[in-house]
């Protein structure tokens, strides 16, 4: 019989692998690769995700790597934009191609009827390797060749057919720019062997385990990974609900009594998006609160973790040179002094030139 692992022990194991029990001194490249990337739908909020995990992290530590093309932002897991290393970009994309294809075919398949997809991919690649383009620009250019088809669908068709990276200055700290793309191969200038499903599962468990087959499928967007998981030499556990969980045999699993510090998480942090059963970090009350306050666009609030689980959310407002971080407690936060101190440290990171203030509010923030 597989040993039972408690929800709290799962929490501590995952937080440890996410560098959220203690910040690491590992490099940005090492951390991003270990995590299998950070979801980076927004241009800048993911910087807070690295600040939460890396001791002494500064924005330029990652912005410089984007500029030097050692990090890139590309649609990967769940067909969402992720910040990944150059090597993982090239290795993961062929394996996860089907995820974007599934999504795009459902949304744009009918509007692309009559278009030879190989020709569309080749035409899109040629245009984007000549110069980076937004999807609007790309669609208009492609419509000159396929005038009877929707330009938006043509552009999105290229997005699913060709690995595309968003190019700087988009994503650089403190800067903005058009959402322009070029091909990953053109931008990076080298090739890497594609990752296998087994390698992807092992990478996932190293960052998010112990976990079920459904968990890894939720994170990746892939399906039918059961046989892959069963073929691997993995440790097995049973959770409190009787589900089978898998893990790397030698992975650290800290005691469930290990202290977990307050963390102020960013809006798209994969900690909350990478398990089918998210109860290891989202409490029942937290789940109910999130259901009531998540907007139509599906964006999570910026969550406060207390003792490793959801306890509130946080916002920052700026008025007349003063940045105020407000801690919205969903229930009384027993370690408010620690939360306020973490908030002050975060303000030093987010707004180093401003005056700083901390406020506390009851109930979730509602925009």
Here the contacts of 94-102 (C-beta below 8 Å, separation 24 or greater) are: 94/194, 94/195, 95/194, 95/195, 95/196, 95/197, 95/200, 95/222, 96/220, 96/221, 96/222, 97/160, 97/163, 98/222, 99/220, 99/221, 99/222, 100/75, 100/159, 100/160, 101/160, 101/161, 102/221
Does 354 map to a domain? yes
Tell me the per-residue pLDDT of 304-327, one tens digit each, with 9 for 90 and over: 999 999 999 999 999 999 999 999
Q: Facing residues of 83 across strands?
A: 38, 73
Asked whether residue 260 is domain-assigned, the answer is no
Strands 164-166 and 71-75: antiparallel
Give mean pLDDT, residues 226-246: 97
Domain's final residue, options 143, 171, 188:
188
Examine the pLDDT at 47 and tell me if it is beyond 80. Answer: yes
Q: Which of 118, 153, 188 is the last residue of a domain?
A: 188
Number of domains in the chain: 3
CA distance linking residue 278 with residue 288, whole number of Å: 13
Domain that holds residue 218: 197-247
Same domain, 16 and 153: yes
Q: What is the pLDDT of residue 101?
A: 83
Q: Are residues 319 and 221 in the same domain?
A: no
- Indicate if 242 and 298 belong to the same structural domain: no
Instruction: Using the predicted structure, report yes or no on whether residue 349 has a pLDDT greater than 70.
Output: yes
Tell me: do 201 and 181 sit in the same domain.
Answer: no
Q: What is the pLDDT of residue 296?
A: 57
What are the pLDDT digits (tens) for 103-155?
777 777 788 888 899 999 999 999 999 999 999 999 999 999 999 999 999 99
In a domain, 24, yes or no: yes
Element (H, E) at 238: strand 235-238
| Residue among 6, 14, 13, 5 nearest 274 (CA) | 14
Answer yes or no: do 173 and 218 share one domain.
no
Q: Are residues 156 and 225 in the same domain?
A: no
Residue 352 lies inside a defined structural domain of this protein: yes
Residue 131: inside a domain: yes
Q: 173 and 32 in one domain?
A: yes
- 183 and 204 co-located in one domain: no
Q: Residue 367: inside a domain, yes or no? A: no
Whether residues 58 and 139 share a domain: the answer is yes
Task: Report if residue 277 sits inside a domain.
Answer: no
Domain presence at residue 152: yes
Whether 120 and 72 share a structural domain: yes
Sign of the four-CA dihedral 361, 352, 268, 167: positive
Q: Verify that 209 and 70 share a domain, yes or no.
A: no
Instruction: Report whether pLDDT(14) > 80.
Output: yes
Specify whether 84 is located in the same domain as 171. Answer: yes
């Amino acid at each position: 019989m597989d040993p039972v692992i408690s929800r709290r022990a799962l929490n501590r194991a995952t937080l440890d692998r996410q560098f959220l029990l203690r910040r690491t001194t590992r490099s940005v490249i090492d951390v991003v690769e270990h995590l299998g990337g950070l979801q980076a739908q927004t241009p800048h909020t993911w910087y807070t995700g690295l600040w939460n995990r890396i001791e002494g992290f500064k924005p330029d530590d990652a912005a410089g790597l984007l500029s030097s093309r050692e990090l890139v932002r590309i649609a990967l897991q769940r067909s969402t934009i992720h910040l990944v290393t150059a090597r993982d970009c090239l290795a993961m994309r062929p394996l996860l191609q089907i995820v974007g294809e599934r999504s795009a075919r459902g949304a744009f398949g009918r509007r692309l009827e009559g278009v030879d997809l190989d020709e569309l991919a080749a035409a899109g690649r040629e245009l984007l390797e000549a110069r980076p383009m937004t999807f609007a620009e790309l669609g208009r250019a492609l419509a000159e060749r396929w005038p009877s088809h929707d330009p938006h669908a043509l552009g999105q068709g290229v997005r699913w057919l060709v690995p595309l990276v968003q190019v700087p200055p988009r994503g650089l700290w403190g800067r903005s720019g058009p959402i322009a793309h070029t091909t990953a191969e053109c931008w990076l200038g080298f090739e890497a062997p594609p990752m296998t499903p087994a390698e992807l599962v092992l990478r996932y468990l190293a960052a998010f385990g112990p976990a079920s087959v459904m968990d890894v499928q939720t994170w990746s967007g892939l399906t039918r990974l059961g046989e892959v998981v069963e073929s691997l030499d993995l440790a097995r556990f049973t959770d409190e609900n009787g589900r089978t969980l898998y893990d790397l045999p030698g992975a650290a699993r800290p005691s469930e009594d290990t202290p977990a510090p307050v963390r102020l998480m960013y809006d798209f942090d994969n900690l909350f998006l990478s398990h089918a059963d998210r109860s290891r970090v989202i409490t029942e009350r937290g789940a109910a609160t999130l259901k009531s306050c998540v907007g139509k666009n599906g964006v999570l609030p910026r969550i406060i973790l207390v003792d490793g689980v959801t306890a509130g959310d946080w916002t920052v407002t700026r008025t007349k040179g003063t940045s105020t971080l407000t801690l919205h407690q969903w229930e009384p936060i027993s370690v408010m002094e620690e939360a306020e101190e973490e908030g002050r440290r975060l303000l030093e990171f987010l707004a180093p030139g401003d005056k700083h203030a901390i406020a506390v509010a009851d109930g979730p923030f509602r925009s």
